Amino acid sequence: MQEHIIPVKLDSISELNSLLFEVMNDGALIVDHLGIILDCNPCFHSRLGYSKDEVVGLSVTELDPPEFAIKVPSRLQQIREKGSTVFETAHYRKDGSIMPVEMNARFIDIGGKTVFFSIVRDISERKQHEKALLAKEQELESLFQHASDGIFIADLNGCYTAVNSTGCTMLGYQKDELIGKSISDLLPPKEQERLAAHKKKLLQGESEVSEWYLQKKDGHLFPVEVSARILNDGRWLAFVRDISERKRMDVALQEKERKYNALVETSTDGFWVADSQGRFIEVNDAYLERSGYTRDEFLQLRIPDIEASETSEDTKAHIEKIIREGHDRFETWHRSRNGTIWPVEVVTTFYPYNGGMFMVFCVDISERKRAQQEIAAHQKELAKLSQALQHAGEGVLITDQDGNIEYANKAFTLITGYSPDEVVGQSTSILKSETQDPSVYRDLWRTITSGKTWEGNLIDRRKDGSLFPAMLSIAPIFDEVKGISHYVSIIKDLTEFKRMEQQLLQAQKMESIGTLVGGIAHDFNNMLAAVQGNVFLAIRNLNNPDTVKEKLQSIHSLGTRAGNIVKQLLTFAKKDIVDLEVIELNSAIHDAYKLARSVIPENITQNIELCDERLNINADATQLQQVMINLSSNARDAVENCEHPVIEWRMEKYQATPAFKKLHPENDKEEFARVSVTDNGYGIKEAHLNAIFDPFFTTKEPGKGTGLGLAMVIGSIERLGGVVEVETKQGEGSAFNIYLPLVHSPVIQVEEAAVTPASGNMETILLADDEESLRTTTSEVLQGLGYTVIEARDGEEALSLYHKHQKEVALLLSDIVMPGIGGVELAQRLRRMDSKLPIILATGYDKELVTSGQAAIEGCEILTKPYSFEMLSTLIRRLIVKA
């Protein structure tokens, strides 16, 4: 049943005003049941900045902020029900600011009218104090919760009433799990024994810092440092710090100290410690051993006593500098006990603690100084070597493993035209020419990549595209780790050498030809005598056609033999070195033997023994003939004074033996043809053996030899990849053994078919030759074959006759060498007048020598005299038909 509250009764509002309103320090407010302000005292409206008239008549909700205005109806209802109440709210001041207030309101009856009377107290200052207090409490709580140490507070019974978040995290518990626990619940069994004595000290008023092991929620033990005391109200307070990291660092520090001591004591480098005044306070055995001092002697010294390169003042200044900067590294000299000095590298650090100290490592750099001197000397040698390479007469290249150029010297630039900047980084293939057989490059790379040195001749290309012969030596450079790291190449331009070599060869050929002339003249005289004899017999037997025919055929055969001898001699006399080709050695040696016989007197017995097998080699037959002639000439001179002189040629197949390979490691072939020229002469003196192949070396009397023969022999054979060996014994003779590598390629043979004379159809041939007998004979032959012939004594007459008979002339047959206009010039002039005129040029000289390449005229053929008339008739017929 609701209690009825009887309001205080007063006679009038004015009576109330007189009693209260004027004297109150708090605001007074009278509000009707709807919340409309009926009256207020001066304190109320003045604190809000209003006049009384501005306030009376307002609803209290107009003075309250929204969050409080909304509560006004419920507050009025509360007052009706309870009769009075006290609560906090706020009012707007006239300037818009808010004034917090405490309202003490009650429900009263004034003059029979029920109203609400409130005492309104300004609590702005109180609110400010509360706010400051709350902030302080929050700050303290934050400090408590977020302290780096765990904070534990326990009641008088030792049970935890408060634990901060650090403590909870440290132990792995939630806060509510720790509240109510005691320290005994967190200690492992081995720590429980200490607890009683610890509590006793605390109860006696002592505070204590001690180390303990606590047990986490997961059972893990960890070390802590606890600072504990009992507060005035009897509660226990403890600050707990996790010292796991400190313990680990202590262990690490102890290990470092152990290692440091071990390092200092076992180090081969000297070490000592000095105070800030330079007095030694510690030293290791290594420094004592090097300096010669005992420990007691050394610890009586100061830094200036051992410093040998600085004065005392310099050392003092240096010490001050190190103290300022904290460290230094420098080289100096120390003095030992016996007065000797040695170089040291000093590494020092100054520690300013405990009065300051220097910790110094002293490294004996005697070996380093010696090494530096050696390096300096080595660098000087390298610089000298670099200059030598740079100014060497031969080109020098250094490449990496893949053949990319890393260095080129000046001579390389002079030889190739490439500057170092242009070739560094480029492949050596920029020098490669298409004229070189690719197999040579394959052999080169196979040799050097196997770690061996390759030597040989190549045709390389210059920057301007021109080709040049080069002698090349390439050697691998080895790295101790990688194996082959680079290649070094030495390049020699053989252009001038080749020119001189050709001159040398030609000079030697001329010497050989001079030797051949006598023998060939002898053969020619024999053949001429035979020709004359056959002519005499033919004339004597004109009535016997068969005998005449037989003698004429014999003359024809003698002419062919004479022609072959001349042709062979012309080929032999060529200046150019003929390209190599596969030849059958038995035939080549037999032909050389026949030619060489002409240089050997008939009183010398000559024998030849060929091989039963076909032996093919890669060579030039003419060059090989010259080699054999030179060896025969050499043998002829060797047997000059023998009673029964003998020269033997022998050829056989040879399989390389281990001894042969060891003697000639540069030649890796297995099968050879061995050609030997042996004589029974006086032999070669041992003192001359090492010089016989040198150019211009000779033991003959002046005027009897140039000393080029054997030099040409060894040069030619080595170019063929062969080897020359000499066996000799004084008084018994000598043997020159030539080893030529065999090849398995077949010999390309051109077979000449039998030629039948071809007849003409009265076509006109212009015949020009300054040799009347040959011109007349040729004219008669051509007329006999069915041609009309116009004869000219030289080129000028032939040119004049052509102008007269241009329409009739079907072919020009001309000698090349004639007075005035020669055959080549005649052919060129006639060709300009008739581009399709067939032309045949003939010469008794070597055709390459007399034409010098000028006869490269389309539709022009060149014949070497003497020529076969059967072949001439066939050629004339073919050219006329083709035209």
**Distance of alpha carbon 816 from alpha carbon 829, whole angstroms:** 14
Q: How far is CA 257 from CA 253, 284, 351, 353, 360, in A?
A: 6, 15, 16, 17, 16
What spatial distance separates the first Cα and last Cα of the chain, rounded to whole Å?
157
* Residue 640: both structure tokens together: 């000059």
Three-state DSSP at 221 gives strand
Query: Is there a domain that residue 222 lies in?
Result: yes
**Strand partners for 843:** 864
Identify the burial level of 733 via C-beta atoms within 10 angstroms of its C-beta, where 0-12 means exposed, 13-18 middle and 19 or more buried: buried
Query: Is there a domain that residue 751 lies in?
Result: no
Query: Is there a domain that residue 771 lies in?
Result: yes
DSSP letter (8 states) at residue 684: -
**Distance of alpha carbon 347 from alpha carbon 363, whole angstroms:** 8
- Are 321 and 292 within one domain? yes
Domain end, chosen from 61, 89, 124, is at 124
- Are 670 and 588 within one domain? yes
Nearest to 699 by CA among 728, 668, 678: 728
User: What's the pTM?
Assistant: 0.38
Three-state DSSP at 225 gives strand
Running along the chain, 883 residues long, what does each successive block of 10 average in pLDDT?
A: 49 54 79 90 90 91 91 89 90 93 88 86 88 81 79 85 89 89 86 81 79 90 89 85 87 79 76 91 90 93 91 89 91 92 92 87 89 86 78 86 90 90 90 82 88 88 89 87 86 81 63 57 63 72 83 75 63 53 87 77 87 88 81 86 90 92 87 93 81 68 59 80 90 91 76 68 93 86 92 94 94 91 91 91 67 61 83 90 83
Q: What residues have CB less than 8 Å from 524, skipping those under 6 apart?
A: 562, 565
Domain span at 118 = 9-124
- Are 77 and 218 within one domain? no
**Distance of alpha carbon 752 from alpha carbon 762, whole angstroms:** 28
Domain end, chosen from 444, 464, 493, is at 493
**Distance of alpha carbon 187 from alpha carbon 320, whole angstroms:** 55
CATH number of the domain where residue 723 is located? 3.30.565.10
- Are 260 and 238 within one domain? no
Q: What is the dihedral of CA 252, 255, 257, 262, to 10 degrees?
A: -150
Q: What residues have CB less than 8 Å from 134, skipping those under 6 apart?
A: none
- Are 442 and 357 within one domain? no
**For residue 372, how far is the Cα from the chain centroid?**
29
What is the greatest pairwise CA distance in the chain?
Answer: 206
Query: Is there a domain that residue 412 lies in?
Result: yes
Q: Fill in the amino acid letter for 621.
A: A
Query: Is there a domain that residue 516 lies in?
Result: no
Q: What is the DSSP code string of 38-69?
A: EEE-HHHHHHHT--HHHHTT-BHHHHS-HHHH
The number of residues making up the chain comes to 883
DSSP letter (8 states) at residue 18: I
**Distance of alpha carbon 810 from alpha carbon 838, whole angstroms:** 7
Q: What pLDDT, on a 0 to 100 scale, did the predictor assign at position 855? A: 46
Query: Is there a domain that residue 587 lies in?
Result: yes
**Distance of alpha carbon 792 from alpha carbon 814, whole angstroms:** 9
CATH number of the domain where residue 26 is located? 3.30.450.20
Query: Is there a domain that residue 308 lies in?
Result: yes
Q: What pLDDT, on a 0 to 100 scale, did the predictor assign at position 679? A: 93
- Are 59 and 151 within one domain? no
**For residue 109, how far is the Cα from the chain centroid?**
112
**Distance of alpha carbon 639 from alpha carbon 651, whole angstroms:** 21
Query: Is there a domain that residue 131 lies in?
Result: no
**Distance of alpha carbon 463 from alpha carbon 174, whole angstroms:** 88
- Are 396 and 287 within one domain? no
**Kind of pairing between the strands at 454-461 and 467-479:** antiparallel
- Are 613 and 736 within one domain? yes
**For residue 19, how far is the Cα from the chain centroid?**
112
* Residue 56: both structure tokens together: 């009376």
- Are 650 and 590 within one domain? yes
Cβ atoms of residues 681 and 635 within 8 Å: yes
- Are 857 and 812 within one domain? yes
Domain end, chosen from 471, 493, 515, is at 493
- Are 158 and 118 within one domain? no
Tally of structural domains, the chain: 6
Q: How far is CA 588 from CA 233, 444, 574, 735, in A?
A: 133, 31, 18, 20
Q: What pLDDT, on a 0 to 100 scale, did the predictor assign at position 95? A: 93
Cβ atoms of residues 265 and 259 within 8 Å: no
**Kind of pairing between the strands at 839-843 and 809-815:** parallel
- Are 353 and 297 within one domain? yes
Q: Where are the alpha helices (DSSP H) in 391-452?
A: 410-416, 420-423, 438-449
Q: Fill in the amino acid letter for 285.
A: D
